[in-house]
Amino acid sequence: MSKTKILFHILNVIFIILYIYPGSILGFLIYNNFHKQPQLTSDFFAISSNHVYAFFLLSLLGLVAYYKVTKFLITNYLIFISIILEVLHLVIPNRSFQFTDLFGNIVGVLLSIILINIYNFLEK
């Protein structure tokens, strides 16, 4: 297994843990407060910037690792995980579903898909 695939799987597991934990693990590590979320930059209108960055990175790794072998499967997985992880916040204690986060997840995935498609087009 390539290093990119391993890194993708590690990051994927970390995302799942961070998303389903009933509180902010990063907030606790940085601020010693499970209720405070770190904010890298200001949000983009109605889109969470943190979620765009996070899902762009995860998706880019996944697409680089699996695009040529399973293009359909990896793109569907990334879109599915970006939606389901946010929807799970409806039932996880101390977490809240937010459309801005959902849009950020989806935009991050879509940007990485667009970038990979542009790269592949230019490589031909």
DSSP 49-78: HHHHHHHHHHHHHHHHHHHHHHHHHHHHHH
pTM: 0.89
Predicted pLDDT of residue 41: 82
Q: What is the pLDDT of residues 2-23, one digit of tens each?
A: 899 999 999 999 999 988 988 7
Cα dist. 47→19, 20, 64, 103, 123 in Å? Answer: 17, 20, 25, 6, 31
Residue 101 and residue 22: Cα distance in Å, rounded? 16
In the chain, domain spans:
3-123
* pLDDT > 90? residue 63: yes
Residue 53 and residue 73: Cα distance in Å, rounded? 22
